[in-house]
Amino acid sequence: MERTQVAIIGAGPAGLLLGQLLARAGIENIILEQRSADYVLGRIRAGVLEQGAVDLLREAGVGERLAREGLVHDGIELCFDGERHRIDLRGHTGKAVTVYGQTEVTRDLMQARQEIGAITRYEAEDVSLHGVDGVNPVVRYRWQGSVRELACEFVAGCDGFHGVSRASVPSQVLRTYERVYPFGWLGVLSETPPVSEELIYAHHPRGFALCSMRSRTRSRYYVQCSLEDRVEAWSDDRFWDELRQRLDARAAAALVTGPSIEKSIAPLRSFVAEPMRHGRLFLAGDAAHIVPPTGAKGLNLAASDVHYLSSGLVDWYRRGDSLGLDHYSERALRRVWKAERFSWWMTSLLHRFPEVSPFEQRLQRAELDYLVHSAAAAGALAENYVGLPY
């Protein structure tokens, strides 16, 4: 039977970042990932990093390309009633965010892992966890046609929302909290210059829209869509027309369109599982919680979980100090719930909800108006958007 200190399930940003921080601290780990490396790299996801995530990636040794190619944004724009209003992130908080695609974060981490020679088993099938409530957990899986066993001291469940780790916690000890929103986001990636220097979050009677980017020549756009919508029904032309309608006249006129490189629909969900630890199994990232993308917190929460978990494991292996591990769930969840609140609030503020009363519609407009005319309200948005220190 193969042995390691920490078995990590999932090679998304959470698993890869944890693996890198542990390996640099001399803690052995093996990652088991059910998909291929190409599949993992082909997923287009979020793109906004808080300073804490940037710092952690630097600590993991993958800060170089990020520093060179990441775009530092000092503000974001809110657009409604045909006008744009800037939220000055730097002015309110002294901090900024960095726009750098999750795909690039993943690519950098995969390369760094390969360079240090740590093991990742891609296409590991039928992963199952055993004995996590004792001191000698075993992970069983099928790889290249044969069943294998990995003995370890800890299991890190970094296998996303649909993974096996959360499902391995007995239902009596796990509490879950969930909200499913009655709409989705249709996203398009295109090799076109971004419509504006900063991100535009637009509220419009036709629905929410977001103008984001990956670089100075590559854009990422989203429009709120119905859950019944199928991506095949959205030609590029239909997408660009819809997006243009939801923006202010200046942005609509400046929008450069082109063929889509990727187009997909994602549902919006808020979800939290508590606690984030069961015996020697620790959940991190999307395995434990989901936020709707409106607040750009998904990747940042994965990073903050990994920060708490890696420092807990380092303290344990260096000094036999279990305090960090004992407090992991509580510390991570305090931050998770702050991000859940903010993401839910940003989602409620900016989307068109089917079946809301005229009274609620007016309240939503009043809240937007308040936000752009009150320094305190804009400051609160800015503080949450740039994120709290770990």
73 is catalytic: yes
Interface characters, 119-148, with ligand PHB (x: CB under 6 A): ------------------------------
**Interface pick for ligand PHB out of 212, 260, 310, 329 (rule CB under 6 A):** 212
Residue type, 112: A
* HSE-up (13 A, CA, CB side) for residue 358: 0
Terminal Cα-to-Cα distance of the chain (whole angstroms): 38
194 is catalytic: no
Cβ contact 223:186 at 8 Å: yes
The minimum distance between CB 382 and ligand PHB, in angstroms, equals 14
Which residue is catalytic, options 289, 297, 307, 351?
Answer: 297
Beta-carbon contacts of 359 under 8 Å, excluding residues fewer than 6 positions away, are: none
Cβ contact 232:186 at 8 Å: no
Cβ contact 105:299 at 8 Å: yes
The minimum distance between CB 334 and ligand APR, in angstroms, equals 18
Which residue is catalytic, options 100, 141, 181, 201?
Answer: 201
The partner in contact with residue 23, picked from ligand PHB, ligand APR, none with C-beta cut-offs of 5 to 8 angstroms by kind, is: none
**Interface pick for ligand PHB out of 106, 190, 219, 294 (rule CB under 6 A):** 294
- In 61-208 the beta strands, taken as DSSP E runs, fall at 71-73, 75-80, 83-88, 97-99, 119-121, 125-130, 138-143, 146-151, 154-157, 175-190, 200-202
The partner in contact with residue 207, picked from ligand PHB, ligand APR, none with C-beta cut-offs of 5 to 8 angstroms by kind, is: none
95 is catalytic: no
Residue 49's closest CA among 298, 300, 307?
300
Question: Residue holding tokens 């509580």?
Answer: 330
**Interface pick for ligand APR out of 12, 52, 75, 387 (rule CB under 6 A):** 12
293 binds ligand PHB (CB under 6 A): yes
Active site residues: 73, 201, 293, 297, 385
Binding site for ligand APR (CB under 6 A): 9-15, 32-35, 40, 45-46, 102, 124, 127, 158-160, 162-164, 285-287, 298-299, 302
Binding site for ligand PHB (CB under 6 A): 46-48, 199, 210, 212, 220, 293-294, 296
